[in-house]
Amino acid sequence: MTARAEALGVALRPHLKTAKSVAVAGLATAAGAKGITVSTLAEAAYFAGHGFRDILYAVGCAPAKLDDVAALDRRAGMTLLIDSVVAAEAVAAHPHAYRVLIEIDTGDHRCGIAPDSPELLAVARAVEASGRSRVAGVLTHAGHSYDARDAESMARIAEAERAGAVRAAEILRAAGFESPVVSVGSTPTATFARNLSGATEMRPGVYMFGDLFQAGIGTCRVEDIALSVLATVIGHRPAENAVVIDAGALALSKDRSTEAIAGGDLGYGVVCDLDGRPLPGVIVSRVSQEHGRVTSRDPLPFASLPIGARVRVLPNHACITAAAHDVYHVVAGGLSVESVWDRCRGW
């Protein structure tokens, strides 16, 4: 991803909401990155405590969090994100001088202001009204790239993401707001963008692990997925061609995102051997809190899945699955743990 950012002429500001891990952040930034992106203040504090600097908090900042952001800014350098006049007024009223990005909606319709909306300049004026805080630029996230299913569509969405963000920055600059930063990026758009001219940085995150949904839409291959949940066979139901494992909704998550991929529904995850090789057609098709029901269209290989056997389950959505776990056990295959990497949790 560092090489892609370089080729596209932008800085990489990896989003650490997926991994929430200093060790992974070290790998993601090793080849050159400009700061990091986080989605919670718990992540910001965790990474700041481990020496990371220049942290972008890329979720709209609630006014009640401004004191904490100010403290983190003094410690590590923070940029915050807003998309309303009300939030901008809270920022301006605060005694701290914040660096502020304005969130732009380039088609995802989750948050953000349309580039041509008069609200854009209203927010910028409100941010700078007291002369302390500054508009540092714009941010957009093309989350709707997750609806695309081929490289061409993702490249088209990447272009809409780029063009919308650049347009918004130009409007701000024309009105006298310096706005040096144009921040774009999701894993699909970062992977398939052809041109990012005018953007200054991109913020992909889930590419660090990949998952079954990303493999389904083509940003990685199943064999690239770097995250699995280790589970144990605890029951056999031969009459139902089913095996029960001790990993259910909490260990795997209830994410069903692969359901949206035509012909690619993988239940709650793909069952693999201990080395991470998928057992063909074997998936977790039902979960309760601590149970996973493993089934297949073909007869299950019961003999190679005795009670007590260990399996690995590849997740639909790495960010959500990882969030339930305290640490990563780093393996090169099998069960031998080479390192234990901690991660942060909570908000």
Q: Report d(CA 185, CA 5) in Å as an integer.
A: 11
Contact (Cβ atoms closer than 8 angstroms) between residue 125 and residue 97: no
| Site track 165-194 with ligand PLP (rule: CB under 6 A), x = hit | --------------------xxx-------
Q: How far is the CB of 206 from ligand PLP (least distance, A)?
A: 4
Q: Report d(CA 329, CA 82) in Å as an integer.
A: 36
Q: Greatest CA separation found in the chain?
A: 72
Q: How far is the CB of 305 from ligand PLP (least distance, A)?
A: 33
Determine which residue in the list 72, 104, 206, 305 makes contact with ligand PLP, applying CB under 6 A.
206
Nearest to 229 by CA among 204, 200, 207, 209: 209
Kindly tell me the sign of the dihedral angle through the C-alpha atoms of 152, 113, 210, 15.
positive
- Of 20-28, 61-69, 200-208, 228-236: span binding ligand PLP (CB under 6 A): 200-208
Q: Report d(CA 69, CA 277) in Å as an integer.
A: 43
* Residue 216 touches ligand PLP, criterion: CB under 6 A: no
* Residue 14 touches ligand PLP, criterion: CB under 6 A: no
| Site track 54-93 with ligand PLP (rule: CB under 6 A), x = hit | ----x-----------------------------------
* Residue 203 touches ligand PLP, criterion: CB under 6 A: yes
- Of 47-55, 198-206, 230-238, 255-263: span binding ligand PLP (CB under 6 A): 198-206
* Residue 205 touches ligand PLP, criterion: CB under 6 A: yes
- Which CB atom, from 205 or from 276, has the smaller least distance to ligand PLP? 205
Within residues 249-278, the interface with ligand PLP by CB under 6 A covers none
- Of 71-79, 155-163, 202-210, 285-293: span binding ligand PLP (CB under 6 A): 202-210
Measured CA distances, 122 to 105, 107, 179, 262, 337 (Å) = 16, 21, 15, 43, 54
Determine which residue in the list 141, 162, 167, 312 makes contact with ligand PLP, applying CB under 6 A.
141
- Of 115-123, 197-205, 252-260, 298-306: span binding ligand PLP (CB under 6 A): 197-205
* Residue 164 touches ligand PLP, criterion: CB under 6 A: no
- Residues of this chain that bind ligand PLP (CB under 6 A): 15, 58, 141, 185-187, 203-207
